[in-house]
Structure 1
Amino acid sequence: MEYRREIDGLRAVAVLPVILFHAGFSWFAGGYVGVDIFFVISGYLITTIIINDIENGRFSIAKFYERRARRILPALFFVLICCIPFAWMWMVPSQFKDFSQALVAITFFSSNILFWRKEDYFAPAAEENPLLHTWSLGVEEQFYIFFPILLIMLWRFGRQPVFYVVCLLSLISFLLSEWGWRNNPEANFYLLPTRAWELGIGAICAFILNGRPVKPNQFLSLTGLVLIIYSIFAFDESLPFPSAYALLPVLGAALIIIYGSSSTFTAKILSMKWLVGIGLVSFSAYLWHQPLLAFARIRSLTDPSAVLLFGLCVASVILAFFSWKFVEQPFRSGPKSILNSRAKVFAISLVASVGFIAFGVHGHVNNGYYDEWIASNKEYADVASFLSYRDTDDYRYQFSMDGCFFSGANGSLDDYNSSCLDIREGEENYILMGDSHAAHLYKALREKYTDSNLSVATASGCKPLYGNEGRLQCTLLHEQTFKEIEAKKELVDGVILSARWEESDFNGIQRTVTILKELGLNVVIVGPTVEYSSDFPIVLIRLLKEYGEVETNTLSMESKHNLDNDLEVLAASLGVGYVSMIDDLCSGDECRNYSLTREPMQFDYGHLTLSGARTLVNESFPGSLSNMFLPN
């Protein structure tokens, strides 16, 4: 296959935004689309090789997987080995247990499945996961387990029918991603079925160009580059992804591959020496950047400075050059490489894999070496117990909510309990609506306001915004809730809206409040909580290690004061009540660490513990629910 410098340049355009996005630079809020560009490039290159080998009668599954092993495993395993001692020294047990699980999953190229079950890619705590970026390797390698076999099985029918099958499967995968972001966005982001179309687009490019020269087209190739650049700078984490939005970077990459011949202006840009150089080491750069950034955040009491983060971005490229030269290259040159036979490649890969699996299983079984860690950190035992808060009876009591909090996303309300929204005659009826940031208050509110009937309509990730498009379960829940409210509006004394608010929600809040007020209902908005870059018990342990016993801290992930103030102004303009949890949790930039019972106020980046919720509600909320609804 003919070498194309512009493809290496496109690799650089893919990897640099990903690195800068993970470093937290807001200009690159859509930098995560670099992974989608990588998928297209990979689909194109690998499919081109497979087609050429099949048509020349030299394709072999064993040879294909040997090539993949030489390409992926040396650099990947080297980075994993380098991560282990830092994880051992700097991680608390819950983090090290997650790290151990990831080692096992990565070895089986299934870390995307693990992170689907455990990790929100855009959540604050994800920034401290040094192996989170390996999810994309899982998607890619899972694709290459099935794709070559599919091509071999279908090739007997001719190249054109195979092309149509690839097009059809890619279309199905795309439509599935459109369904997925509405119904199960976490699975949609991480799993192969909703990502395969991006690799499929690359494969389609390979079929189109097979046996043909690249057709130069200045306009279409430049359009492709513009689409990519627009995606990088215009997208952010609020967009559903992957979805139709992903068409912009994916089709942008495809246009460059198909029409960006060396004579085009776009190819000349992408063929610049420095871009090609970064593109050549892009795989190693991708492997290095997340561990460097994550361990820097783990070791820092405050968010690392922009200067440090940018320095680590540069360091990831420098390290990438050395690992490309001294790790990747020596293993990739076939008979002349360090491992000069297929048997040696597979044998060494197996031995290394068994080693990582054994280490990871041992770390998991020993609960992240919790006992050993506690033995040398006894003074933090009380706080450390909250590292596994989700396994406690308090958490189950707090979030089970008698079956009224939907934590999954099954796309239906088959398990909906009608008693959750129990509007009764002859009683004061209030309704709590929102996501998990409403749910964490529910039990504390119920315990305090025993004279009122508090109904609830909450689900994970479902902000209580009327007509808000999103996952199907949220839409169904809100439709049913608003229908019930409208039918019994004479009996409803007030509606409490609580969520993990963002500035982009303000129009939806205004629309929702207007509709509820038109029904003659009182409304109160509950503001945001404090948020941290790590799970709060981890933050608290770091504070204790650094300063000893501390009642307050200034280590919030980001200031929520501006958002809180803006929400309060919005509530006042709408003539509704407002409860500021920021004012109750913080004095200026110093925020409360402990509840009245000396337990951490929060158990993750922002959710209150049951004890924290009780403290906040009992100390700061008014004596009766009706008083909450008075405009400020």
Structure 2
Amino acid sequence: MQGFRSDINALRAFAVLAVIAYHFGIFKFQGGFVGVDVFFVISGYLMTAIVVQALQQQRFSFVTFYLARARRIVPALWVLCVFLLAMGALLVPVPQDYVMLAKHVYKAMLFVSNNTFYQESGYFAAHANEKWVLHTWSLSVEWQFYLLYPLVLWAAWRCKPTLRGLNAVLIVLGLASFTCNLILSRSYPEYAFFMLPTRAWELVSGGLLYTYTLQAGVPSKWRPALQYIGLLLLTLTVFTYNSTLAWPSFWALLPVVATLMVMAAQRENRLLQQTWLQWCGSVSYSLYLWHWPIWVGLHYYGVSRDLWAIAAGLLLTLLLGTASFYGVEQPVRQGLSKYSARKSVAVLLSMVLVVYVGAWVVRQNDGFTGRLSPYLQMVHASIGNSNPREDECQGNDRKDAAGCQYGGETLGLIVMGDSHAQAVIRATEQALPSKQYHVSDWTMAGCPPLLGLHSTDVKSRCAQHLNKYFELQKTMPRNVPILLVARYSNYIEGPSEWDLQGQEQAPEVYFGQQPYAQRTPAFYHEMDAAVVRTACELARYRPVYMLKPIPEMTVDVPKYVLKRSWLGLDAQVQLPTREYQQRQQRILHSMAQAQQQCGVKLLDPAPILCHQQVCASSDARGRPYYYDDDHLSVYGAEQLLPLFRTMFAKP
């Protein structure tokens, strides 16, 4: 088949619809992310066709190839980036979020956003839904491939101008990339997902299909079966795969092979030639560009579970994608093709420069905090109202073996726990009876103070940290109390955030040889026993205090208030006391056991933070007690000063 391929165009439509359905949570398309892998295979096939045909005809030009790709990709992406930068002042009231948007937009225009997102967090992480151009990671991978791939094919052709020689090179590249993918998908999953070395095999597989079909096509009698089996396998992956899989790893083989089967059949098909499907394939790039920012907008304002909002988001995706295709993608590409190479390069570089300047202005002005009213500026200040020494002091990699110290020369209190302990530690410093005393910081994020702990999240770091300080405390003066603080319910019951509820199945912590696949009675018993055992072991050496759970709000309090208030909506965040008690009942029972068995003293923040059947997230003026959804800010922790002073009421 020469020229336009309706089967490939239909695959584009399948890929973009699967991705959109997955992101918008439609019809259980839980594996729709495989659409990107389909795109990669198609790109590898088409790019190989373009380069190999030119090499065979001795007319290949790097300048021509790169300019053609840039004309295809850059203009529509540029319009999206400029739109987001400009509208961010209206749509993104949180200055930090606006600054992050500016950074990501600029990285997207340079086609290095995949490296940025790899360093920040995973694609399937909850915070990924707050990154307006996260989807450009795949464009960055493709562009990086476009830069390097022609060089490889050209060099191989210069050495041996035969298809067999190209095949050998592509096989070596594909196997090396696939091996890299298998190794890194487990040990470095974020790198494996976002980066070219672990994704190149998908693009190269498309290239191999092209070079092999040039030599020998599939027999006609096999083509219908090959095509239908490929389509069936692709559909199967969309409905059976999910985000818990290590990706790409070997799981990506199935959608890649299925895509290759459909393309290898090279068969016209009435099903694939339907007008609406072909149209979706034609506008797939523009639909892909616009669907994700629209979805992020729904999530950003907390309406991503509202059916009417989802329907409006899909309609807006259709409208903006269509406008981008007919108003930008097609006419600009055709217009630039009439320019000389030098003029085309100047126009494209000017586009990048415009985005760079816009992003620089946003970042230099710290997201334009002046947009906010005095009240919202007070709310905004709560986002950064955390312990300024947090990064310096938590963890077991610091140089000071005894931990960070807050205060004077004499040890007055030890605080041990996770990031919830870190959040309140400066308030405990203020509660010390004299400035001559100091608080010793033995905290580490994600590590509850539990003897024998293992964690699937931070591996052995928690155990090393806890063991070191459990031994160290044995050498400390025995009249010095220790305060245990942790977000125990997160380890026992899972996350409380509204966008994470129900997603996590397996507990992150365990105490035996193997982690638990789910929360069983045996798991709950181990957790309960560990809480009591830890407190009682410490009580052998010193007075032990345990802070009862801090109420966990289900949303990021200051950001939620900023967003809702920006739109003129009700921004009050409260947690019913009944829900607080229900979520914390297991850890409260364990703490009561420790109190009964070992004389541990319990400090209860509920009477201070909870009134009239609700736990408040802010004071009467609207100043938040939290710097996110569950960590008290410095101001919030100061509300607990009367509670912490009870630890020093008697010598």
Instruction: Give TM-score scaled by structure 1 length.
Output: 0.75
Structure 1 residues 489, 171: closer, same or farther in 2, change over 3 A? farther
Q: Where does residue 338 of structure 2 map in the other structure?
A: 339
Residue 287 of structure 1: how far off its partner (Å): 1.0
Q: 1:521 aligns with which of 533, 550, 553?
A: 533
Report matched runs for 1:284-295 at 5 Å: 284-295=286-297
Residue 357 of structure 1: how far off its partner (Å): 1.6
Q: Where does residue 627 of structure 1 map in the other structure?
A: none
Q: Does 1:553 align with 2:573?
A: yes
Structure 1 residues 303, 487: closer, same or farther in 2, change over 3 A? same
Report matched runs for 1:110-149 at 5 Å: 110-118=112-120, 120-149=122-151
Bigger radius of gyration among the two: 2
Residue 286 of structure 1: how far off its partner (Å): 0.6
Q: 1:170 aligns with which of 170, 174, 181?
A: 174
Deviations 1:162-214 (A, max 9, x none): 43333333333334344444444433333323332332333333333234435
Structure 1 residues 428, 338: closer, same or farther in 2, change over 3 A? closer
Q: Where does residue 324 of structure 2 map in the other structure?
A: 323
Residue 24 of structure 1: how far off its partner (Å): 4.1
Contact 1:177 1:195 in 2 (8 A): yes
Residue 367 of structure 1: how far off its partner (Å): 1.8
Q: Where does residue 247 of structure 1 map in the other structure?
A: 253
SS class of match (2:318): helix
Deviations 1:7-56 (A, max 9, x none): 11111121112223332447233322322221222122212221222222
Q: Where does residue 539 of structure 1 map in the other structure?
A: 560
Distance 1:285 1:464 in 2: 52
Q: Where does residue 190 of structure 1 map in the other structure?
A: 194
Deviations 1:112-132 (A, max 9, x none): 233334455444454343322
SS class of match (2:245): coil
Residue 65 of structure 1: how far off its partner (Å): 0.8
SS class of match (1:31): coil
Structure 1 residues 604, 121: closer, same or farther in 2, change over 3 A? farther
Residue 276 of structure 1: how far off its partner (Å): 1.9
Distance 2:612 2:19 in 1: 34
Q: Where does residue 203 of structure 2 map in the other structure?
A: 199
Contact 2:9 2:278 in 1 (8 A): yes
Residue 135 of structure 1: how far off its partner (Å): 1.9
Q: Does 1:398 align with 2:404?
A: no
Structure 1 residues 476, 47: closer, same or farther in 2, change over 3 A? farther
Distance 1:438 1:213 in 2: 65
Contact 2:423 2:637 in 1 (8 A): yes
Residue 4 of structure 1: how far off its partner (Å): 2.1
Q: Where does residue 76 of structure 1 map in the other structure?
A: 77
Unaligned runs of 5+ in 2: 405-411, 476-481, 496-503, 508-515, 536-545, 595-601
Q: Where does residue 27 of structure 1 map in the other structure?
A: 28
SS class of match (1:396): coil
Q: Where does residue 58 of structure 1 map in the other structure?
A: 59
Structure 1 residues 547, 207: closer, same or farther in 2, change over 3 A? same
Structure 1 residues 103, 223: closer, same or farther in 2, change over 3 A? same
Instruction: Give TM-score scaled by structure 2 length.
Output: 0.73
Contact 2:415 2:442 in 1 (8 A): yes
Contact 2:447 2:462 in 1 (8 A): no
Structure 1 residues 379, 481: closer, same or farther in 2, change over 3 A? closer
Unaligned runs of 5+ in 1: 406-412, 422-426, 625-632
SS class of match (1:475): coil
Distance 2:223 2:613 in 1: 55
Residue 541 of structure 1: how far off its partner (Å): 1.9
Q: Where does residue 530 of structure 1 map in the other structure?
A: 553
Q: Where does residue 626 of structure 2 map in the other structure?
A: 602
SS class of match (1:601): coil
Q: Where does residue 538 of structure 2 map in the other structure?
A: none
Q: Where does residue 597 of structure 2 map in the other structure?
A: none
Distance 1:64 1:3 in 2: 19
Contact 2:189 2:246 in 1 (8 A): yes
Q: Where does residue 237 of structure 1 map in the other structure?
A: 243
Structure 1 residues 418, 548: closer, same or farther in 2, change over 3 A? same
Q: Where does residue 43 of structure 1 map in the other structure?
A: 44
Contact 1:536 1:603 in 2 (8 A): yes
Distance 2:122 2:180 in 1: 20
Q: Where does residue 424 of structure 1 map in the other structure?
A: none
Structure 1 residues 600, 567: closer, same or farther in 2, change over 3 A? closer
Structure 1 residues 284, 576: closer, same or farther in 2, change over 3 A? farther
Deviations 1:64-100 (A, max 9, x none): 0111012112222223333343222222232322222
Q: Where does residue 511 of structure 2 map in the other structure?
A: none
Q: Where does residue 408 of structure 1 map in the other structure?
A: none
Structure 1 residues 7, 153: closer, same or farther in 2, change over 3 A? same
Give 2:563's aligned amino acid: R
Give 1:96's aligned amino acid: Y
Q: Where does residue 9 of structure 1 map in the other structure?
A: 10
Distance 2:201 2:339 in 1: 35
Q: Where does residue 307 of structure 2 map in the other structure?
A: 306
Contact 2:624 2:636 in 1 (8 A): yes
SS class of match (2:624): coil
SS class of match (1:28): coil
Contact 1:42 1:199 in 2 (8 A): yes
Distance 1:318 1:282 in 2: 13
Structure 1 residues 579, 520: closer, same or farther in 2, change over 3 A? closer
Deviations 1:212-259 (A, max 9, x none): 43554555544433443333333333333333333333333233333x
Report matched runs for 1:206-605 at 5 Å: 206-214=210-218, 216-217=222-223, 220-258=226-264, 260-262=265-267, 269-298=271-300, 300=301, 302-303=303-304, 305-333=306-334, 339-371=338-370, 373-374=371-372, 377-387=373-383, 389=384, 394-400=386-392, 402-404=393-395, 432=417, 456=443, 458=445, 474-477=458-461, 480=464, 498=488, 499=490, 501=494, 503-506=504-507, 507-508=516-517, 510=520, 517=529, 521=533, 529-532=552-555, 535-545=556-566, 552-553=572-573, 568=585, 592-594=616-618, 599-604=623-628
Structure 1 residues 442, 363: closer, same or farther in 2, change over 3 A? same
Give 1:112's aligned amino acid: N
Distance 1:179 1:437 in 2: 35
Deviations 1:354-393 (A, max 9, x none): 222222222222222334x24xx23322122245x2xx7x
Residue 348 of structure 1: how far off its partner (Å): 1.6
**Percent of residue pairs identical:** 25
SS class of match (1:504): coil
Give 2:346's aligned amino acid: A
Distance 2:65 2:425 in 1: 55
Give 1:254's aligned amino acid: L
Q: Where does residue 96 of structure 1 map in the other structure?
A: 98
Contact 1:465 1:512 in 2 (8 A): no
